[in-house]
């Protein structure tokens, strides 16, 4: 049983869980630390299915955890990628206003970036937009030079490798935490592959974060609702119409950035995503269904209150999910010359969104500690960009909460 006794166990092998483990291992290399991941590889869900963008920090409310951690995390991520041979490219992006009605919010986003300390920002004219992206049309824009793209799967794989090889930690795959029993010395974690004993626990469970918090006993005042994002790829014919990254001015009422164009680090260009409610938290097809997940979502009052408030937005997103012509129409706001055979259906991802019982989206990072456990209850975008900074924050919280020495 000694090989299953740890000073600290991290649940979740995505970018946040592995960053937290890496940072705690770095600070306390003498501690015995393990990561439990229920899938057969790390970064199977949100980390491995995001857009691959290194976000700048321009969108987020000044003073928020998102703003600070995104800017700090971005710089640390780029340094880490450079030092460890992870593929990345600081290619920059344009945020484009396609109508004068978007200019006020575009300027607010730009000002947020200035206040957040984002470097290499400037307002650009329609002619400057076309110099950067010749096929893009807009009335004004923002150049964000420090934005880039990165291989997040490679990043998380390298973290797992360093945890094991440099610090002697353990990463257990195909190991799902199913039950938690409090003991005199900490917590007994019952999994599908036997029991693990932990003095301390950090849960970074993404789409399952609320369920893990409830099972462990800490609980949460919010519930996770999943939103699927569908992507198209540019075809060989359409590939020449995008050089790097093109984003719209985001709708200020939602945490989604709108459909955009993203050059991928492994090649190709993605278009999307939309944001549609899912009937299965880890379901990536349009027909994926889980009775458990659907019942949980519809029995939670916050879901219905959110739908009542935003039903028009929801219907619009579903139109894009099932109609290529409608999805194309949205993309044509940025690139009017885009044609149907310029895009082909591609992958999808699901993002975890934490909702309060009142139906309000929790837009900032939410990390809480109680007893011998820390739970990351909400880590929406830009969590991947900010992962190493979030890892720092969790390490500092663990030091205080668990009296680590």
Kindly report, residue by residue over 194-234, the tens digit of the pLDDT.
Answer: 999 999 999 999 999 999 999 999 999 999 999 999 999 99
Helices then strands, counting H and E runs in the chain, come out as 10, 20
User: Which of 14-18, 255-259, 265-269, 327-331 has the least mean pLDDT?
Assistant: 255-259
In the predicted model, is pLDDT for residue 347 greater than 80?
Answer: yes
Report yes or no: 95 and 88 within 8 Å, Cβ to Cβ.
no
Q: Is residue 35 part of a domain?
A: yes
Q: Looking at the domain assignment, is residue 173 inside a domain?
A: yes
Quick one: tokens of 178? 């199913």
Residue 138 within a domain: no
DSSP secondary structure of 378-401: E--TTTTTTHHHHHHHHHHHHHHH
How many other C-beta atoms can be found within 10 angstroms of the C-beta atom of residue 124? 18
- pLDDT for residue 309 is more than 60: yes
Q: What is the count of structural domains for the chain?
A: 1
Q: pLDDT category, 318, cuts 50, 70, 90? A: confident
Please check whether residue 284 is in contact with residue 276, taking contact to mean a CB–CB distance below 8 angstroms: no
Element (H or E) spanning 21, and its range?
A: helix 15-27
Confidence (pLDDT) at 313 = 79
Q: Which two tokens stand for residue 300?
A: 């939670």
Quick one: DSSP state of residue 47? G
Percent of the chain scored above 70 by pLDDT? Answer: 99
CA 264/CA 89 separation, integer angstroms: 10
Q: Would you say residue 15 lies in a domain?
A: yes
Using N-to-C axis directions, what is the helix angle for 65-84 and 387-402, rounded to 10°? 110
> Higher model confidence: residue 193 or residue 322?
193
Q: 187 is in which domain, residue-wise?
A: 2-47+153-221+363-402
Under 8 Å between Cβ of 193 and 172: yes
For residue 255, pLDDT over 70 is answered with no
d(CA 54, CA 47): 12
Q: Which of 263, 270, 265, 198 is nearest to 229 (CA)?
A: 270
Q: Give, rounded to a whole angstrom, the gap between the first and last alpha carbons of the chain.
A: 24
Is pLDDT above 80 for 278?
yes
| Residue 7 scores a pLDDT above 50 | yes
* Residues 10-40: tens digit of each pLDDT: 999 999 999 999 999 999 999 999 999 999 9
| Phi and psi torsions of 56, nearest 5° | -85, -35
Contact 328, 230 (CB under 8 A): no
3-state secondary structure of 178: strand
- The answer to whether residue 320 is domain-embedded is no
As a dihedral over the C-alpha atoms of residue 216, residue 217, residue 219, residue 223, rounded to 10 degrees, the angle is: 40
Q: What does the pLDDT look like over 81-91, one tens digit per residue?
A: 999 999 999 99
Does residue 178 belong to any structural domain of this protein? yes
- Write out pLDDT tens, residues 46-64: 999 999 999 999 999 999 9
Q: Is residue 160 in some structural domain? A: yes
CB neighbourhood size of 272 (10 A)? 25
20 lies in a domain? Answer: yes
CATH code, domain with 181: 3.50.50.60
With CA atoms as reference, report the closest residue to 35 among 153, 150, 152, 168. Answer: 168
Local confidence band at 3 (pLDDT 50, 70, 90 cut-offs): confident
For range 73-100, the mean pLDDT: 98
* Closest-CA residue to 256 (of 112, 381, 96): 381
Burial category of 296 from C-beta neighbours within 10 Å (exposed 0-12, middle 13-18, buried 19 and up) = middle
DSSP 56-108: -S-SSPTTSHHHHHHHHHHHHHHHHHHHHT--EE---EEEEE-SGGGHHHHHH
Confidence of residue 1 (pLDDT cuts 50, 70, 90): very low
CA dist., res. 126 & res. 381, Å (int): 29
Q: Which residues contact 315 (CB under 8 A, 6 or more apart)?
A: none
The alpha-helical segments, DSSP class H, found in 85-208 are 103-115, 126-132, 152-165
């Amino acid at each position: 049983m000694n090989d299953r006794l740890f000073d600290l166990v991290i649940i979740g092998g995505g970018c946040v869980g592995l960053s937290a483990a890496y940072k705690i291992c770095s600070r306390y290399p003498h501690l015995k630390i393990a990561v439990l991941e229920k899938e057969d590889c790390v970064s199977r869900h949100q980390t491995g299915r995001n857009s691959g963008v290194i976000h700048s920090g321009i969108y987020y409310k000044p003073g928020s955890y998102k703003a600070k951690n995104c800017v700090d995390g971005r710089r640390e991520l780029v340094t880490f990628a450079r030092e460890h041979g992870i593929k990345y490219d600081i290619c920059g992006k344009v945020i484009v206003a396609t109508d004068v009605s978007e200019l006020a919010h575009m300027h607010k986003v730009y000002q947020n970036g200035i206040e957040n300390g984002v470097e290499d920002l400037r307002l650009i004219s329609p002619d400057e937009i076309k110099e950067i992206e010749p096929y893009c049309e807009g009335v004004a824009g923002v150049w964000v030079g420090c934005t880039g793209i990165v291989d997040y799967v490679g990043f998380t794989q390298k973290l797992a490798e360093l945890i094991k090889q440099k610090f002697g930690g353990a990463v257990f795959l195909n190991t799902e935490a199913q039950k938690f029993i409090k003991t005199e010395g900490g917590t007994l974690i019952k999994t599908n592959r036997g029991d693990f004993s932990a003095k301390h626990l950090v849960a970074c469970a993404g789409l399952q974060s609320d369920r893990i918090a409830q099972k462990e006993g800490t609980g949460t005042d919010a519930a996770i609702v999943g939103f699927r994002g569908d992507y198209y790829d540019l075809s060989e014919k359409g590939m020449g119409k995008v050089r790097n990254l093109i984003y719209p001015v985001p709708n200020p009422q939602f945490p989604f950035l709108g459909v955009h164009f993203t050059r991928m680090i492994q090649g190709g260009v993605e278009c999307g995503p939309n944001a549609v409610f899912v009937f299965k938290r880890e379901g990536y097809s349009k027909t994926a269904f889980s009775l458990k997940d659907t019942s949980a979502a519809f029995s939670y009052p916050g879901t219905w209150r959110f739908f009542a408030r935003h039903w028009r937005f929801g219907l619009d997103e579903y139109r894009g999910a099932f109609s290529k012509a409608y999805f194309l129409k949205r993309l044509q706001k940025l690139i009017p010359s885009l044609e149907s055979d310029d895009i082909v259906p591609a992958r999808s991802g699901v993002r975890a969104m934490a909702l309060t019982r009142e139906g309000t989206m929790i837009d900032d990072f939410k990390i809480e500690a109680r007893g011998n456990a820390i739970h990351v209850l909400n880590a929406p975008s830009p969590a991947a960009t900010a992962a190493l900074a979030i890892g720092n924050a969790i390490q500092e919280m663990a030091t205080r909460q668990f009296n680590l020495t």
